[in-house]
Amino acid sequence: MTDFGIKEALKQLGVKEINNGTATGSDNFSNGALIESYSPVDGKLIGKVKATSKEDYEKVMETAGEAYLSFRNMPAPQRGEIVRQFGNKLRELKEPLGKLISYEMGKSLQEGYGEVQEMIDICDFAVGLSRQLNGQTMPSERPGHVMREQWHPIGVVGIISAFNFPVAVWAWNTSLAWICGDVCVWKGSEKVPLCSIACQNIIAGVLKENNLPEGISSIINGDHTVGEMMTKDTRMPLVSATGSTNMGRIVGATVAQRFGKSLLELGGNNAIIITPTADLKVVVPGAVFGAVGTCGQRCTSTRRLIIHESVYDKVRDAIVGAYQQLTIGNPLDEKNHIGPLIDQDSVNTYLAAIAKAKAEGGKMLVEGGVLTGEGYESGCYVKPAIIEADNHFEIVQHETFAPILYLMKYSGEVENAILQQNGVAQGLSSAIMTNELKEAEKFLSYAGSDCGIANVNIGTSGAEIGGAFGGEKETGGGRESGSDAWKVYMRRQTNTINYSDELPLAQGIKFDL
Ligand code: UN1
């Protein structure tokens, strides 16, 4: 049987059978237990990674701290040049890295390549930005005075990322942090540790070629105990964490306790509102890709369709029809639309959610279930399900990281749909399908969607790099990647400079000596 070039890809990326999971550039050290990485694609062991012990972590933080002291001296456009080279290496290695992502995480090969493309795009974005870390100047109320603000690097940035985007989310953070003059310590998900190893090998090569300290980029590996070392560490002024709301609640609280900053990108419960004038040609691919892409394991995955009652039957039938075309199987085989869920726990969560939705009165429109037989030996392949449900069902209020789509109706005006769309605890992504200008603008207004991302006539997932990415409410409030997200990786300093011979006080205060 073909291995779809996986062996060759691992070789090209320098991923071995046993890897040091604690690394700062060329200096690898790890004393912790071995983490085994099994592919959800075929259930086979891909490789092992040594977890990070407390002593390993201390070494990483020392190396990172030292690297920071020299890296912050490098002019920002020169740091941009390093990120440019990193982006070029990613272009060269797009194929093997995309394959590894697909094999270790289980997303389709196209999406694996897409993820590497997101890394390349953020590198390009960061290179341009490295000449635009601009502060403002302000007129002073005092004669002979100037006021300005400057943006300085913040220090050692901690990055915690999730299994579903094993590499892109790291790149969103790290490429901006680097051009800002920070150094990064990355804990990827212990479900996809080899993707982290591959990325670390790539950046370590670039740093070495440029004679730069290895501590500019480090990885650490392990479970939440390693995450805890980061959240409690006062040497880490910023922790950027992507993952579940439960994880974010703990990270946010722990980091806040020591007055650190956190950037949280947590769960979503994303809906598409489908109005009477919606164009089915756009609705069907938008909703179906949103719901089943990455096997429903994106934080931006479409979980709910809120459909106007006048078009409900037509939209439901079109979507149910499209589900019949979906092929589920090895994601490295490009004829398949959908790969497996990440692991057995995830399959159990999926099954429990379907059972709960049924128990709450949901009606199955497309039955789910676990696939068995040839090609499905890993036990992680499931059928995407569609359930007619009510927004207030407890299970609908909850983010289930699996391909389960809930359909619900609204009647009357778009405001009623917006109410349902906003009627969940999460606030990441949202969309409206309409050809009515007024409806679209209402949805985008202050009285419209309460999400960080609000789209018109496209789905909820697949955001581009240029925009700030993140959401409100239980999604955590952080913004990454585009727009002015760079500011979170820097500290702001306000300067007032007196070039006169007097010392007038602000607010006209007199203080004569
Ligand atoms: C995530 O699922 O954590 O908008 C990130 C999207 C992708 C990123 C998703 N660009 O779907």
Catalytic residue among 111, 115, 214, 265: 265
CA atoms within 13 A on the CB side of 346: 23
Q: What is the Å distance from ligand 1's center to 164 Cα?
A: 9
DSSP strands (E only) in 161-269: 183-187, 217-220, 238-242, 261-265
CA 443 to chain centre: 25
Ligand 1 pocket check for 421: Cβ under 6 Å: no
User: Mind giving me the DSSP string for 363-427?
Assistant: EEEE---B--STT-TTS--B--EEEE--TTSTTTTS--SSSEEEEEEE-SSHHHHHHHHH-SSEE
Place of tokens 């769309």: 421
Give the pLDDT confidence score for residue 24 in this predicted structure: 65
Give the pLDDT confidence score for residue 143 in this predicted structure: 97
| Protein residue with least CA distance to atom 3, ligand 1 | 299
Provide the 10 A C-beta neighbour count for residue 55.
12
Give the pLDDT confidence score for residue 404 in this predicted structure: 98
| Protein residue with least CA distance to atom 7, ligand 1 | 462
Ligand 1 pocket check for 107: Cβ under 6 Å: no
- For residue 23, what are the β-bridge partners? 28, 219
**CA–CA dist 477, 249 (Å, integer):** 12
pLDDT tens figures, 84-100? 999 999 999 999 999 99
| Protein residue with least CA distance to atom 6, ligand 1 | 462
Give the pLDDT confidence score for residue 207 in this predicted structure: 97
Mutate to test the pocket of ligand 1, among 461, 475, 480, 481 (most ligand atoms within 8 A of CB): 461
Ligand 1 pocket check for 299: Cβ under 6 Å: yes
Atom of ligand 1 nearest to the CA of 298: 2
Ligand 1 pocket check for 164: Cβ under 6 Å: yes
Ligand 1 pocket check for 298: Cβ under 6 Å: yes
Do 334 and 113 form a contact (C-beta atoms < 8 A)?
Answer: no
Give the pLDDT confidence score for residue 1 in this predicted structure: 57
**Same-fold call for 7-266+476-493 versus 271-465:** no
Q: What is the Å distance from ligand 1's center to 465 Cα?
A: 10
Ligand 1 pocket check for 429: Cβ under 6 Å: no
Mutate to test the pocket of ligand 1, among 165, 172, 430 (most ligand atoms within 8 A of CB): 165
Atom of ligand 1 nearest to the CA of 242: 3
Q: How far is CA 508 from CA 119, 452, 484, in A?
A: 52, 42, 35
**CA–CA dist 158, 264 (Å, integer):** 12
Contacts of 139 (CB under 8 A, 6+ apart): 147
- Report DSSP state, residue 508: G
Mutate to test the pocket of ligand 1, among 300, 453, 465 (most ligand atoms within 8 A of CB): 300
Domain ranges of the chain: 7-266+476-493, 271-465
**CA–CA dist 290, 269 (Å, integer):** 12
Q: What is the Å distance from ligand 1's center to 299 Cα?
A: 6
Ligand 1 pocket check for 461: Cβ under 6 Å: yes
Q: What is the Å distance from ligand 1's center to 68 Cα?
A: 29
pLDDT tens figures, 4-51? 999 999 999 999 999 988 886 555 667 788 999 999 999 999 999 999
Give the pLDDT confidence score for residue 491 in this predicted structure: 98
153: its two tokens: 């690097």
Q: Cα 503–505–510 angle (5° rounding)?
A: 100
- Respond yes or no: is residue 265 known to be catalytic: yes
Do 404 and 292 form a contact (C-beta atoms < 8 A)?
Answer: no
Q: What is the Å distance from ligand 1's center to 181 Cα?
A: 26
**CA–CA dist 248, 267 (Å, integer):** 9
Beta pairing class for 145-153 and 137-139? antiparallel
Place of tokens 């992504």: 429
Ligand 1 pocket check for 462: Cβ under 6 Å: yes
ipTM entry: 0.98
Q: What share of the chain is helix, strand, coil (3-state, %, to 5)?
A: 40, 20, 40
Atom of ligand 1 nearest to the CA of 463: 4
Residues 362-377 as b or e (16 or more Cβ within 10 Å = b):
beebbebebeeeeebe
| Residues of the chain predicted below pLDDT 50 | none
**CA–CA dist 429, 419 (Å, integer):** 15
Q: What is the Å distance from ligand 1's center to 451 Cα?
A: 14
> End-to-end CA distance of the chain, in Å?
90
Give the pLDDT confidence score for residue 203 in this predicted structure: 97
Q: What is the Å distance from ligand 1's center to 165 Cα?
A: 7
Do 395 and 295 form a contact (C-beta atoms < 8 A)?
Answer: no
Q: Is the pTM of this model over 0.95?
A: yes
Ligand 1 pocket check for 463: Cβ under 6 Å: yes
Closest among 426, 409, 436, 427 to 305, alpha carbons compared:
409
Beta pairing class for 404-410 and 385-388? parallel
Closest among 305, 298, 261 to 284, alpha carbons compared:
305
Q: What is the Å distance from ligand 1's center to 243 Cα?
A: 11
Beta pairing class for 34-38 and 404-410? unpaired
Give the pLDDT confidence score for residue 22 in this predicted structure: 86
Q: What's domain 271-465's architecture?
A: 3-Layer(aba) Sandwich (3.40)
**CA–CA dist 164, 215 (Å, integer):** 26
Mutate to test the pocket of ligand 1, among 298, 342, 479 (most ligand atoms within 8 A of CB): 298
Provide the 10 A C-beta neighbour count for residue 437.
9
Q: What's domain 7-266+476-493's architecture?
A: 3-Layer(aba) Sandwich (3.40)
